[in-house]
Amino acid sequence: MKYKQDWDRVQDRLTALWKGTLKGRPCISVVAPAGRKVEAPVRPEGLESFWTDPDWNVRRTRHQIETTWWGGESIPSCLLMCGWLQCLGGEPLYAEQTIWFKHLGMDFKRPPDFRMDTGNPSFRRHEAAYVALATAAGWDDFLVGQPCVLPANDLLSMLMSTEDFLVALCDEPDWMQKAIVQGAQVQAAIRQHLADRIRSLHRFWYGCAGWMPFWAPEPFMATQSDVSCMLSPDMYEQFVVPELEVYSKVAPWMWYHLDGGDARQHVPRLLSLPYLRVLQYTPAPCEPPNGPGHLAFYRQVQKAGKIVHIHLPPENVEPLVRELDPNLLMLHTWCRTVAEGEALLESADRWVCARG
């Protein structure tokens, strides 16, 4: 890999993590500024171009990757957030930090009718940017992986407004369940379509790359349900689990993003899913950051045989390395300099040896 000279070693360690046969310290992704002087690309005018222009996305991705030191088990990769444009016919609203959507009214007197529309302008804009990025990545210069496509449950809550979505779950449960499952089938078909577009271009067409990059030696599906923090376990079972079942038929394994303590009520059900392989946790702003304050929760996940994927500040790495099973642990952190990153990795080896 052009931007990861020790990729063969990293691939072997990530494969061992996946199989539960890792030796030594846990997998730790460490990034830091590389210290190279690379001229930054000129940002285009307009928010739509900022999010969707293929040439701009290629140039800013190259700049990001070339100016980053990728230490430990880090994966040179990028986040193409305009995958949110795959939005079941919704109309995107571009903002400086994210992409929102105009609210849609739903006709509950008619069956839901979501479908993949390859002629939709939003579909075409994202597809063009995605294929351009995969082309720029070449066969294996850096990781592009599966597109950043929202799951149907979260997407519908954004399209309808969260309040209207929650009310509809209570007032129109049959319609909403069908809509979420149908939306999930559409989103899965879009992912498959895009994977087919880049499969001959890019070796890592299925990897989960982006804000929490993860790699495994076989295909897996990455998903979430941020809106589930407002759902009871019974409602989660009724409206979210059927969507997870749709995705489990697309790929044999699942990487799941759990957002905040209010969603932890669903952890027992998640841990019971045979296809769940990785649970990634992001604490709510009112919670302690990932680290020793959540050790009991991490142990619960590992006891179920699932990999814990954690983004955490560097000062919180040591207690997790010392206390958790390295065979089921993926840590993702950052340092101010390359020297600090190298020192952290060397220390991690000593912390594991000290465990005996």
Neighbours of 114 (CB within 10 A): 20
In a domain, 324, yes or no: yes
Tens place of pLDDT per residue across the chain (356 aa): 999 999 999 999 999 999 999 999 999 999 999 988 889 999 999 999 999 999 999 999 999 999 999 999 999 998 899 999 999 999 999 999 999 999 999 999 999 999 999 999 999 999 999 999 999 999 999 999 889 999 999 999 999 999 999 999 999 999 999 999 999 999 999 999 999 999 999 999 988 888 889 999 999 999 999 999 999 999 999 999 999 999 999 999 999 999 999 999 999 999 999 999 999 999 999 999 999 999 999 999 999 999 999 999 999 999 999 999 999 999 999 999 999 999 999 999 999 888 76
CA dist 142 and 77 (Å) reads 6
Which three-class secondary structure state does DSSP give residue 93? strand
In a domain, 133, yes or no: no
Query: Domain count of the chain?
Result: 1
In a domain, 263, yes or no: yes
In this structure, what is the dihedral angle of CA atoms 164, 166, 170, 174, given to the nearest 10 degrees?
80
In a domain, 88, yes or no: no
Q: How many residues does the chain have?
A: 356
In a domain, 208, yes or no: yes
Q: 194: domain CATH number?
A: 3.20.20
In a domain, 128, yes or no: no
In a domain, 82, yes or no: no
Residue pLDDT, tens place only, 245-279: 999 999 999 999 999 999 999 999 999 999 999 99
CA-wise closest residue to 269 among 235, 320, 317, 294: 235
Which three-class secondary structure state does DSSP give residue 67? coil
What's the domain range around 238? 7-35+68-77+98-116+139-355
Residue pLDDT, tens place only, 80-133: 999 999 999 999 999 999 999 999 999 999 999 999 999 999 999 999 999 999
pLDDT of residue 356: 62
In a domain, 13, yes or no: yes
Type of residue at 227: V
